[in-house]
Homo-oligomer: A and B are copies of this chain.
Amino acid sequence: MAQSLDSPLGAETVNGDGFGLGWYPVSNPDDPGKQPPKPALFRSMEPAWNDQNLREISSTIRSPLFLSHVRAAAGPPVQQTNCHPFRHANWLFMHNGGLADFLTVKRDLTLAVDPALYPEIQGTTDSEVLFYLALTLGLQDDPIAGMEAAIREAERIGHEHDIRFPVQGTFAVSDGITLWAFRYSSVGRSRSLYHSADIETLRQMYPDAERLRAFGRRAHVIVSEPLNDLPGMFIEVPESTVSILDDTGYRHEPFLDAA
């Protein structure tokens, strides 16, 4: 909510063109199941900062893993279907950034989506098309390879249309178990991306810090920009890197090379 009204590191400081929350349910301890559970979505075209339903839901729902997004619309209209996260089966996807000159490449990108997936596209954003392109190119089998292939395909199509730097952004992908957060742009200067340091360590460093009270003991947070200014709390994810978060914590791997 705070970052919808003021995101000082963002390309736009106001992100008032809708928001979204996608959350995975708490698994039933008596029947944990083999299948990752399907996430639920709450998306709205209102600004997040004054949305009463968002306050109610975010103070009510418990979830071990959730993604949330505030939008500053570039071209595609402000409507619920254009709000992130996007969902396919147990997968969620969000994007902070954009595909350059999207209307020029939209048709070619959309044609590259598996015709069996095409009817699932509900909105009109570059981000959703890129998600379906990644699904087409193997995201569910190997998220990192799928994202690499999708971004490479978007760059190839962009270059065919004389777009020099086609892809810009950070990307979040989850299957309900693991969260992959990518930082990549064709030009090599991507939107900002941070993850939190180990909360337990921070508590020992700052036993009195009010700013830590909002976080549970095992909280891990990946964010576009720091949620507070506690020194050491938020660590920048480097360019062309994917940050992988699972039960064992974070780890970084190189992701693509900006040409």
Tell me the A residues contacting B by CB distance below 8 Å: 5-6, 14, 16-17, 25, 40-47, 49-50, 52-53, 56-57, 59-61, 73, 77-81, 103-104, 106-107, 110-111, 115, 118-119, 122-124
Q: Least Cβ distance of A112 to chain B in Å? A: 12
Q: Which among B44, B45, B61, B77 is the interface contact of A122 at CB below 8 angstroms?
A: B77
Bound together, the chains give a CA A224 to CA B45 distance in angstroms of: 28
Beyond A119-B107, A124-B81, is A44–B40 a contact (Cβ under 8 Å)? no
Bound together, the chains give a CA A46 to CA B51 distance in angstroms of: 12
Residue of B nearest to A111 (CB): B111
B79 touches A80 (CB 8 A): yes
Chain B hits for A78, CB < 8 A: 46, 50
Bound together, the chains give a CA A205 to CA B137 distance in angstroms of: 53
Closest 4 CB pairs of A and B: A103-B119, A79-B79, A40-B60, A16-B16
Residue of B nearest to A102 (CB): B119
A sample of 14 inter-chain contacts (CB < 8 A) reads A5-B14, A40-B56, A40-B59, A42-B53, A43-B53, A46-B78, A50-B73, A52-B80, A53-B53, A77-B81, A79-B80, A103-B119, A123-B124, A124-B124
Bound together, the chains give a CA A45 to CA B25 distance in angstroms of: 27
Chain B hits for A46, CB < 8 A: 45-46, 78
Chain B hits for A57, CB < 8 A: 40, 42, 57
Bound together, the chains give a CA A43 to CA B16 distance in angstroms of: 18
Bound together, the chains give a CA A69 to CA B59 distance in angstroms of: 22
B47 touches A16 (CB 8 A): yes
Bound together, the chains give a CA A119 to CA B124 distance in angstroms of: 10
